[in-house]
Chains A and B, each alone.
Chain A
Amino acid sequence: MSGLEATVLVLVGMGGTAVVAVRDPLRQAMVASLFGILLAILFFVLQAPDVALSEIVVGAVALPLMILLSLAKIRGGSR
């Protein structure tokens, strides 16, 4: 296995740990977006462009957006 694949796999492992280690949901949404991009890079390196595109639009755009919208409702409360 080349060094590129090894490096990206290690980065993905570290990214997953970071997502779980961050406890505040607002910051976690941003780290999750970064994790989505790292996963997409891994999928590109593993020669899967379709899956990488799908992971970018879901993991880096749609999911953090939904988390932020839920947080807005939860933080704003019933004012």
Chain B
Amino acid sequence: MSVLAYGVPIWLLVVGLYGIVTSRNLLHQIISLSVVQASTSVLLLTVGFRAGAAAPVFADIPATRPAVDPVVQALSLTDAVVGATVSALLLAVAVQVHKRTGTLDPDALRRRPER
């Protein structure tokens, strides 16, 4: 079962990279990037998991109950925020690229002569 837990992040990483490499549309690439970013969050949380433990929020359980690791959760939280901001900036750039060149195809953009 560890195979599944640690294999899903590897699969998400490879699938997301495949989407970025073989994409014909800048927006499709940006959304595939968000899949890659999700893979690291999943890996962090599967590493920090303890079987039979509760969430590290002791509002209604006594503070002596075993709980999962809170440090990796803090890392994942920051990961999600940064992922959203990166996607926002990339989308803004994609909008301007389309306005100036009329296309969103990465291959067509690469073939454009430099002005």
Binding site for B on A (CB under 8 A): 1, 5-6, 9-10, 12-13, 16-17, 19-20, 23, 25, 28-29, 32, 35, 39, 42-43, 46-51, 54-55, 58-59, 62-63, 66-67, 70-71, 73-74, 78
Interface SS majority for chain A: helix
Other CB < 8 Å A-B pairs besides A20-B19, A25-B28, A51-B80, 13 of them? A9-B4, A20-B15, A25-B27, A28-B31, A29-B31, A32-B31, A42-B42, A47-B56, A50-B73, A51-B73, A51-B76, A70-B91, A74-B27
Given contacts A13-B8, A39-B38, contact A48 B31 (CB under 8 A): no
Residues 73-114 (chain B) with a chain A CB within 8 angstroms: 73, 76-77, 80-81, 83-84, 87-88, 91-92, 94-95, 98-99, 104
Complex contact B104–A74 (CB within 8 A): yes
**Can you report 25 residue pairs joining A to B where beta carbons are below 8 Å apart?**
A6-B1, A10-B4, A10-B8, A12-B8, A16-B12, A16-B35, A16-B38, A20-B15, A20-B19, A23-B28, A25-B25, A35-B35, A43-B76, A46-B68, A48-B73, A49-B57, A50-B73, A51-B45, A58-B80, A58-B81, A66-B91, A67-B91, A70-B92, A70-B95, A74-B104
